[in-house]
Structure 1
Amino acid sequence: MNTATASEIERLGIPAAALPHHVAIIMDGNGRWAASRNLDRSEGHKAGARRTPPIVESASRLGIEAMTLYSFSTENWARAEAEVGVLMNLYTEYLVSQRPLLTDNNVRFRHLGQRDGLPARVLDELDRNVELTADNTGLTLHLALNYGSRAEITAAVRSIAADAASGELTTAEVDEALISSRLGTAGSPDPDLLIRTSGEMRISNYLLWQISYAELYVTDTYWPDFTPEHFHEALRDFAGRQRRFGREQSE
């Protein structure tokens, strides 16, 4: 453990062993944050983009193994064309501007979601970040962009079915581990903690397979107001829970 990580954990006030291995976040509330300030929705998205780096850096310094950020769902294409255009421009700028953070914090970047439909400029910057950080060994950061869990599971099933049809595997070999290995988060542990900002009490087609036993933490705070201190409070709450995985509570 490096000095920065030890210092961060000490400030957090919980044992390192009590931290989650993988934190997933539904970054919600940008539009409502803007509306509450009589601002255009685009300003909310810009504010939300500025909020992400401190959270990623904090997770990295704490030694958390993986983080997945739900940024743009497959359903979000139904939003107004102008708003989608603003978001795609923001992604292009964000992916470039955050390279020093990824490099300085030894973060490995991965794209989670479908490539089809994303503008070429966004795909280019996604691929560049994946390439530049491929050898990093710290936090694995999945950016869920053009992502839907049902589509992800469907693609995994199609991949397995194709291998079965070609004789590369038998139906007896199809188990949970095989399905997990065909998902976009393969190689990372399943999320232990799912955080949703803005108070909405739903999953929104996010990591449906992977969050089977994740602890849920919902806060009314909008994403642009979600600080590292809010993140740390979620981690403290997680550390205080007794995880039973379907077992009866021990006496």
Structure 2
Amino acid sequence: MIPWDPWDSETAGSYDTPGAGMFAPELLRQTVDRLAGLAGDGPALEFAIGTGRVAIPLRDRGVPVAGIELSAAMIDQLRTKADETRIPVIAGDMATARAPGRFKLVYLVYNTLSNLLTQTEQVACFRNAARHLEAGGRFVIELWVPELRKLPPGQDAVVFGTEPGYIGLDTYDVLEQRVVSHHFRFGDDRQAALLRSAHRYVWPAELDLMGQLAGFALEERSADWTGTPFTGESRSHVSVYRLGDG
């Protein structure tokens, strides 16, 4: 367990950044285009649905969407944009919680699988996706590639982003396969605000084995939502797993 809650009401209230970052229109369009193509006429289930960044535009495309979300504060924020009739949400852990019905597509975006801090929990998440899918259904995961090649001997931190008023820093525990992301935001004075989130990083090969344990086979892996080929230099991936027919 981590000694702080990264998904409290303060985080939920500032999570949405319309038109910028993960909410950039082009990124959202690419994400929704790909998911809508995989879902067909649906239904789809989003693990860790958050404030509805992806679920709402996917629902607007005509795909019925339900969600599972652990953070009550994030669900409250989602409810300011979509009611339970439009997007039903089950409160609970994406590794264990059950949503009613069967789905053509389960998806987990923007590195959220890494919020599960043990390999056991991550394998359970795959198995939970399999329980929700009809035969031949797909589980889509968007995840970053650990940047361990940037760590010289004796160093355990990597700066992953800088811009005016912001520094992003990851600290690694390579023994436990853990990373804590530190987001520093500051103005012209001497004060800074810090947001931290803990993760367990996963190599693509390990992810594929998790899928096999749950009855999935890797169908496709690309570097982004538009299908850019995945290479050894890719910093992230979108992996599509297909559940066996048996």
Name whichever structure is richer in helix by fraction.
1
Q: Which has the higher contact order (CA 8 A, sep 6+)?
A: 1
Larger Rg: 1
**Which TM-score bucket, shorter chain as reference?**
0.3 to 0.5
When normalised by structure 2's length, the TM-score is 0.34
When normalised by structure 1's length, the TM-score is 0.33
